[in-house]
A and B are shown apart, each in its own frame.
Chain A
Amino acid sequence: MNTPLLSAKDLTVQFRTPKGPITAVNGIDLTLERGEVLGIIGESGSGKSVTMRALLRILPEAKTEIAGDLKLDGKDVLSLKGHDLAAYRGGDVSMVFQEPATALDPVFTIGTQISETVRRHRKVSRKDAQARALEMLELVRIPSPASRLGNYPHEMSGGMRQRAMIALALAAGPKLLLADEPTTALDATVQIQVILLLRELQREMGMATIFVTHDVGVAAEISDRIAVMYAGRIVETGTAAEVLKNPKHPYTQGLLSSTVQGAVPGTPIKAIPGMPPDLAQMPPGCAFAPRCPLATSACQAAVPDLRAQGGERRVACVRLEEIA
C-alpha cells in the first residue's frame, strides 16, 4: 500500500490573542492521494482558510501554535526550518489566493514574478526561467502570452490576473496546490472559465489539489472528495457525490438546504437558525448542537468523533443512526 501524498493527523492551530488562545482549527485529520482534488466547504470562521495557511506554513509564527502531525510526501512539514521551509513553500506546495490583485506584487511584471519563482526553486538560467514563464502563461491560456509577460498586475483584468496567479503557483511544479476561494472574487462567466482551467491543469499536471470554497456549486464542479468544516472541525467527509447528494450530518444538510439554488420562489428557504459559535467561547460537545434541530443532551456530552460509514464516508454526529 502506498502512502498518501499528504497526511495530517490531529492538526490543531491556535492563535494567541490578548484575550487568550483561540482554537481556529481543532484536531482535524486529512489525507490526500497524488492527483486527488479535495474540496473543503465551510462558512467564515469554520477554519478552512486557516487550515490552508497551516499546510503552507505561512501563519505568523509569533502568534500561532500548530500542533499535530503533518507529512507531505514523507516530509515532516511542521519541523521544517529556514532554507527547507523556503523550498517547501512555493516549491512542494503553492497557493492560489482569493484576491489576485493583492496577492501579486504590484511593482514587478508578471514575467519577472514567475521567472523569479522558478529560479528560487530550480537551478536554471535567467533565460530558461523566462522561457518557463512564457510556457506557464500559455498553459493558463492567457491570450498573446509573450506580450503579457511584460504586463504589471494592474494592467490586467480580474480573470487574467487570476490566471497569472495560477501560472505563478504552478511555475515550480508543486506536488500540492492549495486554492483558497480562487474564484469567489470573479464574475460568473469568468469563474466557470477558471474552474475549468484548474480542473484541466490539475488533470494534465497530476498535482493534488485542495480547493477551499463556501460555494457548494463550485465544490461540486471540481472536487473528487469533499470535507465539510464547522467551527474548526471536519464534520463530514466523503466523495463529492456522496456528500452533496446524500448529506448525513445535520450541518451539511442544513447548508445544502439553505442554498437558494433549490429553493422554490415564494416559499421560505430552509435556513439554519442562529449563527456559527464564537471560537473563543465554544459550546460543549458538538459545536453545531446549539443550532441543530436534532440535538439532544448526548450531543453536549462530548465532541463527536468522525465515524466511518463505509467507503470514503465519515460523519461526526452521535445521532447519525437515528436520523439516517
Chain B
Amino acid sequence: MTDQGLTPPQTVPALSATSLNKTFTVRENGLGKPARYVHAVSDFSFDLPVGSTLGIVGESGCGKSTTARLLMHLVKPDSGQIRLSGEPVSRAKRDLKQFRRKVQMVFQDSSASLNPRLTIEQSITFAPMVHGVSLRAARETAWRLLDRVGLDPARFTGRYPHELSGGQRQRVNIARALALNPRVVIFDEAVSALDKSVEAQVLNLLNELKAEFGLSYIFISHDLNVVRYISDHVLVMYLGQVVEQGPVDQVYATPRHPYTRALLASMPSPDPEQRTMAAPITGDPPSPIDLPPGCRFAPRCAFAESICDTMPYELRHGETRVRCHMADPKLGHSKAEVIQ
C-alpha cells in the first residue's frame, strides 16, 4: 500500500488516511463460544485533495458509516493513520479538539442530530462556545450562517427542531457543521432522507458553500446518481474494502471492478422504453461477519476463479485503482482482459 494518493505529490491533501483497519467483536453469549469478528473497514486508504469532493458509495454493511466515524475519531481504528493537511493526528486530547475544529460532520437523520430541547440558535452556538468563542460572537456566526443556508435568522433562531421540516433541519445541521469554520465536512447520507425536490436544493447549496468557504467534502451515500453529481473522485466499498476508486467520470464511464459494474447496472433506468431486463447480480450483500480470506466479492462474482481465493491488492489503472485479480493480466486470471 502506498500512501501517495491520486493527486500530484506536491500538493498536500486536506485529509488522508493510510491503511485504516477496524474490526468489531461480537460475542454471541458469554459462555465460551468463540468471538466473531465484523470486518467493518479493512485496509482503507484515500487522499482528499483540497477543494475537492470524495464520494463514497456502497451498500449496507460495506463500512461507509464506520469509515465516517473513524475519520471523525469517534471510533478508534485498530491500525492505520489519518492525516489532516499532511499532519498525523494523535488521539491526545488537545490534538483531537483541534482536529474537530477542522473536520465536521452532517448526519443522515436531520431530526436525531439536533437536540430537541435546544433552540436552533443554541444548537449552532454550542460548538463555537465549546471552543471558547464568546456567546455574542457565536450568535453572530449563527445568524450569518442561518442566513447563508437559506433560513431567515429572525424567524428560525428561536425555534425548536420539531417545528421545522426535514429539509430545513438539514440546513440547520449544515450551518451547525460550518459554525467552527472547518476545512473538511463529512456528509453521511446527508441528503438520503430528503424529498427529491428538497435534495436538489440542498445539493446546490452544498456546492455553493464549498466554493465560498473553500471546503473539501467527503460525501457518503448509497445513491449513485447523487455521488456522480457532487463528487470529483469516487470510492466504491464492498464489505469493508475499497474495491475501486478514481475520478468520478472514469469510474462511471468505464467501471473496472465487477462489483462497480453490477452496482451501476442496478440503477433503475429512467426511460420506461428501455427497462432493465436482468438483474446484474443476485442475492443480498452478505454480512461482514467472519469473512473468507480471499476476494470478498468472489462469492457473488460471475468471473470468480481459484485465484480469487487469495486477497487481491489494489492495482493502479491509470488514475483509478481496482482491487481485482483481473486488473493485472500477470496475476493469471483467465478473464483478465474483461476489465481492460
Residues of A within 8 A of B (CB): 43-44, 143, 157-160, 187-193, 195-196, 214-218, 220-221, 223, 239-241, 244-245, 254-255, 258-263, 265, 268-273, 275-276
Contact = CB atoms under 8 A, between A and B. Distances in A.
A188 B263 contact: yes
A157 B285 CA distance: 9
B276 interface: yes
A276 B167 CA distance: 11
Contact of A189 (B59, B196, B223): B59
5 contacts: A157-B287, A187-B285, A221-B272, A263-B200, A265-B248
Interface string B190-213: 000001111111011001000000
B279 A271 contact: no
B275 A220 contact: yes
Contact of B203 (A157, A260, A272, A273): A260
B236 to A, nearest CB: 11
Given A192-B279, A196-B276, A272-B197, A218 B268 contact: yes
B270 A261 contact: yes
A153 to B, nearest CB: 14
Contact of A188 (B200, B266, B272): B266
Contact of B268 (A190, A217, A258, A272): A217
B interface secondary structure, majority: loop
Contact of A269 (B200, B266, B281): B200
B201 A196 contact: no
Contact of B282 (A193, A214, A240, A272): A193
Interface in B242-294: 248, 262-263, 265-273, 275-276, 278-285, 287
Contact of B197 (A187, A217, A254): A254
Q: Give the most central of B197, B198, B280, B281: most A CB within 10 Å.
A: B197
Contacts of B223: 260
B226 interface: yes
Give the bracket for the number of chain B residues in contact with chain A.
Answer: 35 or more
A261 B225 contact: yes
A255 B268 contact: no
Contacts of B248: 265
A interface secondary structure, majority: helix
Given A192-B267, A255-B196, A275-B198, 15 more contacts: A43-B195, A43-B197, A187-B60, A188-B267, A189-B59, A192-B280, A217-B268, A217-B270, A220-B270, A221-B268, A221-B276, A259-B196, A260-B199, A260-B200, A265-B228
Given A195-B268, A215-B268, A265-B230, A258 B197 contact: yes
B222 A259 contact: no
A114 B273 CA distance: 35
A193 B196 contact: no
Contacts of B230: 260, 265
Contacts of B60: 158, 187
The list of the 4 closest CB pairs from A to B, nearest first, reads A217-B268, A271-B200, A240-B272, A187-B59
B165 interface: yes
Contacts of A157: 284, 287
Contacts of A195: 268, 276
Nearest to B273: A241
A293 B283 CA distance: 45
A229 B232 CA distance: 35
B224 interface: yes
Q: Give the most central of A44, A189, A261, A265: most B CB within 10 Å.
A: A189
Nearest to B193: A44
A188 B272 CA distance: 18
A44 B231 CA distance: 27
Contacts of B203: 260, 269, 271
A187 B222 contact: yes
B24 interface: no
B270 A214 contact: no
Contacts of A143: 283
